[in-house]
Structure 1
Amino acid sequence: MKDSDAPSSTLHEKQESPSTNEHTETAKDEHGVYDVGERPVNRLNAVFENPLAGVPRERLFEDVERFCKRFGLEEYVDTFKKGALISQNPAGAQDLVELSEEEKEVLRREHTHKWSQPWQLYFMASMCSLAAAVQGMDETVNNGAQAIYLKQLGIKGHKNEENLTGLIVGAPYLACAILGCWLTEPLNRYLARRGTIFLSCFIAAVASVWEGVANSWVNLFIARFVLGLGIGSKSSTVPVYAAECSPAPIRGALVMMWQMWTAFGIMMGNIMGVAFMGLKEDLSWRLMLGSTVVLPLIVCAQVYFCPESPRWLIQHNKVEKAFRAFRTLRPTDLQAARDLYYAYVGVELERRVNKGKNFFTMFAELFTIPRNARATLASWIVMFMQQFCGVNIIAYYSTTIFQDSGYTIQEALLASMGTGILNWVFALPAFFTIDTWGRRNLLLFTFPFLAITLFWAGFSFWIETGIKASKKRVAMVTTGMYLFEVFYSPGEGPVPFTYSAEAFPLHVREVGMSWATATTWCFNFIISFTWPSLRRAFQPQGAFAWYAGWCLVGWVLVLLFVPETKELTLEELDQVFSVPTWKHATYQLKNAIWHFRVWVLRQKLEPLPKFYEGAENLVW
């Protein structure tokens, strides 16, 4: 779409003063429209206000009429006018005389009955959940299989046994980090969200069969590397797709289904290890790896019946199709029109800001534009810590860790299945709290317990071996690892992908999500590749303590640099990430000290002011 085609009143942005002071000023053209054309490129999308705020009603209605005429939506023009009025001032929607009492009740129900949504929305969520389960199985089915194929394929006893083991275990994550995640942007551009999900799951199905028939460690490495090409683009696309389709009040819960059902897949992968363990060795590990072919084929069929992301359709000028998608995903036409028009004007603003940019320019903007840089830093922290909290040493190596503590291989597989079950079951609390208690609070609450449980599991290896002592060591190691899963699942489990999927503005969302997922898969490969050597050099005590220390570092990083994002629209998050980092860190330090004095020292103090109150007066 050409710039001149966008409704002029939809382009509304804070304008920087040409003076040297830090405060922002506004400048409008003759139509009362904020002029973005003269903004410095490094500050151009520093903050996007509500693009409809302050637009005169007559002008707003004229823009809506032109919009409906342009995209063949004339029969819904009255509905779009009401939707635009609601978007202009959501807090005052109940006072609009244009709305009937029935329509006002619909808007109230968004908050009083937020789970009352069309079945198609939940069908979409179920498809995303199964796509996540595909990934979980792909990750952990290798846990039990490696105990067998290391010997079958001649890796056991090889002079480079540790490196080869780490390389094969980490092959999918190496592929994700260096290639798979970076395919997200071009795949999404040409195949859209649904097409990318279909292709990534098809690749996963093919790679699963390939793994099962591999006849050498080289062949198995290549198969698992190809598997990573599907994992990378899928893990980047599915959370974004879910975020763009979901209404704000339940967006966090629906997006976090990614991690919850990844945990389900992890559990299923461990169950497959137990299910096929009793068969002939050369057959059992092949069936374990090949069992992951079923779920991706189901997703390939299911995604066909899901609507495309409305925001992707708007971005690609398919507005009429976007309205049909929103009508499928929202309870009423009024809500569909409201969300469509508000998303459209935001996309048009971003389209102007993003005109003439390519992938490399957008990638650079992740670090050069302050609003984006804060989202980049925050998503990097949560994604980095998802790996360096140590979870995947349990997901990938729990069988061998349990064997080291004193289990037989059959007992170790059963114990590993227990970690998978706990990982899934204890993701349920996050489903109910991520949109109420918030992303930050879940992380800040669980990180200290992750550190404690890792110290517990690692230090338990100091219990001496022997018949009686061995039972104590087995019990202590198992308890520490199980408790770790209990605290991981509601915190660092679901939050990172949910957070990253919503943190970036639309025009750099694919690139930003590629960055975030490449981060997690890069460090995933690092820990999966280095764990055998780390365990030998530091012993289990020191290796577990290493990751326990990182959990404490993660608590500090989240406290200072990760803003809260719960219950905000994707557009409102622009204002959250436009708050200067030093202001956020300073306030959160004061907030932490306040909580320590009140809850630990039992002092009676006045409550701190809410941070985002008066945010319009902050220096952007």
Structure 2
Amino acid sequence: MSRASDVEGDVKSKLDISHVEHSNADYTRNIDARVRNPLLGISKSDLRVQVAGFCHEFGFQDKEDVFFRGALAAQNPETYESFGELTEDDKNVLRREVTHKWHLPRDLYWSIALCSLGSAIQGWDNTGANGANLSFPQEFGIENNQALVGVINAGPTLFGLLSAWAADPINNRLGRRGTIFLTGLFCVFPVLAQSFTQNWWGLLICRFFMGLGMGVKISTIPVYSAEVAPAAVRGGIVTSFQLWVAFGIFVGFCSNLVWYRVGKLAWRFQLGAAFAPAIPVLIFIWFCPGT
């Protein structure tokens, strides 16, 4: 019997169903041919023991029954209607996730708004240099050194490429909210410090520190968005990251235009203005739910 047939038979036997539709998964590339539900095959008694252990470890003893009902629903997303342990209110909420998929808790909208603002900061930070490089090379006497000007402009991207590799250990250590807060600090102080630099190497150092935060932030915000969003709307919410980065680019160009006629100081305002939207992210990220 083929591997695909084995998998289909395994699914049928475990879920007690007579027919399984083939998904679009390519069996030659996915050795399991499906994404396995981690709760599949666990008995109710064992599931209750695991839930009790989880609640005891993280201090949710008073919510143990709620977590158990949630685990049952997650274990059997297609057959939860038949479970007597779930209340009618539980079932109504689960039904509404499908029939009213945009009727979401206020905390979720708040979290996505903060993530959208964090994404827009990414775009704004990237475009500040587009206006500033019209004047800061003359300020520092490097207008004839195009390679150096290019390195200064690309500094955040270069260091972001390196810092992105640190996203996983930092997230494991600080959690999603802690990581977003930490990277937000790099979107405030180095960005603002750029406006006060007196030489090209000081500007380059500030932009390198910007990149340290940007690389980790761009790797964390989409993951946090996916973790707080229900499955029915997860795809749309996660892909909004690119939309808001593009919006930040638009706002960055508008800011460049606003400061363009200031004169010799224009480049300082163009580079430093992007610190402002990072302030509410630093403050209000702690009002968002953890994941």
Quote the residue 2:164 is aligned against: 181
Partner residue, 1:233? 216
**Cα separation, 2, equivalents of 1:59 and 1:276:** 64
Letter in 1 for 2:237: L
* Unaligned runs of at least 5 residues, structure 2: 8-13, 15-29
Query: Hey, which bits of structure 1, 4+ residues long, moved more than 6 A?
Result: 43-47
1:224 aligns with 2:207: yes
Query: What residue in structure 2 maps to residue 293 of structure 1?
Result: 275
The normalised TM-score by structure 2 is: 0.81
In structure 2, distance between residues paired with 1:211 and 1:204? 11
Give, in whole Å, the separation in 2 of the partners of 1:198 and 1:222: 21
Equivalence map 1:366-405=2 (5 Å)? none
Structure 2 residue 134 is the aligned partner of structure 1 residue 147: yes
Change (3 A) 1:103 1:140: same
What are the within-5 Å matches in structure 2 for residues 125-140 of structure 1? 125-140=112-127
Match of 1:265 among 241, 248, 261: 248
Tell whether the 8 Å contact from 1:173 to 1:228 is kept in structure 2 after alignment: yes
Question: Structure 1 207/75 Cα, relative in aligned 2: closer, same or farther at 3 Å?
Answer: closer
**TM-score with structure 1 length normalisation?**
0.40
- Structure 2 counterpart of 1:438: none
Cα offset, 1:216, TM superposition: 2.4
Structure 1 residues 232, 268: closer, same or farther in 2, change over 3 A?
same
Q: Which residue of 2 aligns with 1:165?
A: 149
For 1:187 and 1:87, the matched residues in 2 are separated by 29
Question: Cα gap change, 1:111/1:278 in structure 2, threshold over 3 Å: closer, same or farther?
Answer: same
Q: Structure 1 CA distance, aligned partners of 2:286 and 2:123?
A: 22
Of the three residues 167, 178, 181, the one matched with 1:198 is 181
User: What is the identity, as a one-letter code, of the residue corresponding to 1:285?
Assistant: W
What CA distance in whole angstroms lies between the structure 2 residues aligned with 1:105 and 1:112?
Answer: 10
- What is the percent sequence identity of the aligned residues? 38
For the residues of structure 2 that align with 1:195 and 1:293, how far apart are their CA atoms?
19
Relative distance call for 1:152 and 1:199 in structure 2 (3 A) is same
- The 2-side partners of 1:207 and 1:70 are apart by 39
- Given candidates 83, 86, 89, the residue that maps to 2:73 is 86
Write out aligned runs for 1:319-358 (5 A).
none
Structure-2 separation of matches of 1:57 and 1:189: 30
Counterpart in 2 of 1:251?
Answer: 234
Unaligned runs of 5+ in 1: 1-20, 26-31, 33-42, 310-620
SS in 1 for 2:41: coil
| C-alpha distance in 1 between matches for 2:3 and 2:33 | 13
Instruction: Note closer, same or farther for the CA distance 1:173–1:100 as it changes in structure 2 (3 Å cut).
Output: same
Instruction: Flag the 1:107–1:176 CA change in 2: closer, same or farther, 3 A.
Output: same
The answer to which structure, 1 or 2, has the higher relative contact order (CA under 8 A, 6+ apart) is: 2
| Equivalent-residue separation in structure 2 for 1:283 and 1:189 (angstroms) | 42
Count the aligned residue pairs. 269
The aligned counterpart of 1:14 is none
Shift of 1:45: 9.1
> Over the residues paired in the alignment, what is the CA RMSD in angstroms?
2.8
Alignment equivalent of 2:286, drawn from 292, 296, 304: 304
Letter in 1 for 2:160: C
- Equivalents in 2 of 1:298, 1:276: separation in Å? 23
TM-fit CA distance, 1:181 = 1.0
Compute the displacement of 1:137 (Å). Answer: 0.9
Distance in 2 between the 1:285 and 1:187 partners? Answer: 33
Q: Do the aligned partners of 1:125 and 1:257 also contact (CA within 8 Å) in 2?
A: no
Query: How far does residue 294 in structure 1 lie from its aligned partner after superposition?
Result: 0.9
